[in-house]
Every structure is written in C-alpha cells, then in structure tokens.
A = this chain, B = another copy of it.
Amino acid sequence: MSQGLPVTSYALLGLLSFGDDLTGYELKQRADRTLRFYWVAPAMSQVYSELRRLTAAGLVEATGDAASTRYRISGQGRVELRDWMQGQPAGFPSLKHPVALKLLMSHMVEDSATIQMLEEYLTTLRANLADLREVRRSLVGRDAPGEAFHKPALVAEWGLAYYRSEQRIARRTLALLRQSFT
C-alpha cells in the first residue's frame, strides 16, 4: 500500500534504515552530511513534514514526547523501502548546473567575467571536496564488503570521482578561455 511517496521521503526513510533512531533535527544533520551531495538537503520544515507523512503511513514509529520525538523505521517501513528499491528503475540523474548554464550564454559578457566565474566555482568545489573527503575518512574501518558502511563508502567514492571530474573539466575550460583571451 501507500504507493508513490515522493523520492525524498524514501531517501529519509533510507537514512533511518541504518538501525538507529533519530530526532527530526538529527535526521536533518545526517541528510546534510550525506544526502546533500547527490540528492538534496531538505529544509528543516520538510524533514518534519516527511516524518509526519511516514508516520501516518506506518513506515516509521515515533517515541518520546512532543518536545523531543525520536523516529525509527518500522518493519513495514523496511518492507516498503525494499519494494521501492526493487520496483521502479532508478531513473536518470538530473543536474542543475548554473555554471554550465551561464557558460552556455557567456557570449553575452566579457570573457573575464566567465573566467572569474570558473575560478569561483573551483574554489567552492575545493571546499565541497574537502567536506566529502572528511565524510569518506569517517567511514574508514567500517567500509569493507559486508560491513555496515560499505555501500555509503561506495557512494562517497562516487561523489569524490564526480568532484574530481568537475575540477578537471573546469580547469580545462578555464585554460581554453585564458588562451583565447588576449
């Protein structure tokens, strides 16, 4: 039953599938640490409303008082999550890349502005890369095949590969622009 929850709902349910029970606040923190790199960083208010939805559907169970509620995935939640994973195909990633977007129409501005944009992108890229490296590091020791964080480690590696690829292509594009910008 309860077919067709939004993907973000399953994503949060997935974050609860590692065994521990969390408050909405803690769940948001976990999302910021992991989900944000390849899905979204949902707003605080959305975390709470999704948790209400999941509770209503019986996929998570709430314990504690109104001032501090802990949520844990239910048996039915595990079943539903499994079904969703194996049901529909994953679907193709969708990218919102404002840097590429502005580059596309960069004939409207001076090359120096585009060069500056790419430099700024490389800076924020470095920062994100550092964050993700830190996440990856925190999994060392529990990341062997079969261990609890094997799959999260694979995802972190995936993200690192993505960021490194972005670094390469941004640098290459920057070099090309600087070359023709006399």
* Partner-binding segment picked from A21-29, A43-51, A53-61, A152-160: A152-160
Chain B residues in 8 Å Cβ range of A37: 95
Q: How large is the interface on A (under 10, 10 to 19, 20 to 34, 35 or more residues)?
A: 35 or more
Chain B residues in 8 Å Cβ range of A161: 165, 168-169, 172
Given contacts A85-B102, A93-B98, A94-B96, whether A151 and B109 have CB atoms under 8 Å apart is: no
- What is the interface of chain A, defined by CB distance below 8 A to chain B? 7, 11, 14, 17, 34-35, 37-40, 78, 81-82, 85-86, 89-109, 113, 117, 120-121, 124, 128, 145-146, 148, 150-152, 154-155, 157-159, 161-162, 165-166, 168-169, 172-173, 176-177, 179-180
